[in-house]
Amino acid sequence: MHHTYVIVSNLHIFDMDGTLLAGSTANLEVARQLGTLPELHALEARFAAGTLDTRGFSAAIHALWRTLTPAHVAAAYTAGPWLNGIADVTADIRRRGERSAVITMSPDFFAHHLLDLGFDEVAASRFPPPPFTAPLDPAGVLTPADKVRITDDLRTRYGLTHAQCVAYGDSMSDAPLFRHLTNTVAVNADHHLADIAAADYRGDDLTHAYHLGRALLDNPPAPHHTDPQRPRRPTRR
């Protein structure tokens, strides 16, 4: 028996909400389709205040969206304000013998549509298929720490070092991963994440953020813990 071994040279890890999906989230886009924006905003306020955690939030939207159908999800995905150039980036990554992954805490029934754009892996919070007739398993809901765990699982599977990975994100839910890796690109991020990123991109085209990531792979920044006086990170607007 002959085994085929695929040699992967680099791994690119993308957040979805606020990163690939500019200025919005999967939940906001679904809520627009279902007419439940006020209820979602109320849940988001509780989440921001710390009275609702990731799993509690997911349980609440599972209960709120009992009428959700695959058609609603497809319409929400299609209407989303996606960055330009996503399919170009995934095609270039694959052409180079590299891999791309999306890791998001948002529901898998929405995030898995991104496989159509050429991502090799999509990891998201596991929900029962809509319309919801099965209960939500809290253990399937991802947290920021899971982004680190899933990245390391992929890295191990492909036999890669930390220096062969690049993360792209926008918010503090990406901070654990940005602290774990050296090659990090903030995409339309607030200053909390931009301040710990190796590079900072602001704009509407993923190819530009990706070029910053490629530059980091070619010229890795010093690890965070050894260089408190890091040089100014590259920025592209």
In a domain, 112, yes or no: yes
Position 220 scores a pLDDT of: 73
In a domain, 108, yes or no: yes
Position 38 scores a pLDDT of: 96
In a domain, 197, yes or no: yes
| Nearest alpha carbon to residue 204 among 79, 75, 78, 86 | 86
In a domain, 66, yes or no: no
Residue 105 domain boundaries:
11-22+82-236
Position 157 scores a pLDDT of: 92
Label residue 234 by pLDDT band (50, 70, 90). low
Mean pLDDT lowest for which of 161-170, 193-202, 219-228?
219-228
Secondary structure string (H, E, C) spanning the chain: CCCCCCCCCCEEEECCECCCECCCCHHHHHHHHHCCHHHHHHHHHHHHHCCCCHHHHHHHHHHHCCCCCHHHHHHHHHHCCECECHHHHHHHHHHCCCEEEEEEEEEHHHHHHHHHHCCCEEEEECCCCCCCCCCCCHHHCCCHHHHHHHHHHHHHHHCCCHHHEEEEECCHHHHHHHHHCCCEEEECCCHHHHCCCCEEECCCEHHHHHHHHHHHHHCCCCCHHHCCCCCCCCEEC
Length of the chain equals: 237
Query: What digits encode the pLDDT tens for the residues 75-134?
Result: 999 999 999 999 999 999 999 999 999 999 999 999 999 999 999 999 999 999 999 999
| Nearest alpha carbon to residue 31 among 88, 72, 60 | 72
Report the CATH number that the domain containing residue 225 is assigned in CATH.
3.40.50.1000
In a domain, 142, yes or no: yes
- What's the domain count of the chain? 1
Position 233 scores a pLDDT of: 52
In a domain, 64, yes or no: no
Label residue 19 by pLDDT band (50, 70, 90). very high
CA separation, residue 199 to residues 10, 121, 231 (Å):
18, 24, 11
**Could you give the percent of the chain with pLDDT greater than 70?**
91
Query: What digits encode the pLDDT tens for the residues 160-193?
Result: 999 999 999 999 999 999 999 999 999 999 888 9
* Strand 121-125 to 235-236 pairing: unpaired
In a domain, 210, yes or no: yes
Position 189 scores a pLDDT of: 95
Q: Is the pLDDT of residue 39 over 70?
A: yes
pTM of the model: 0.89
Position 223 scores a pLDDT of: 63
In a domain, 157, yes or no: yes
Position 152 scores a pLDDT of: 96
Q: Is the pLDDT of residue 30 over 60?
A: yes
Mean pLDDT score of the chain: 90
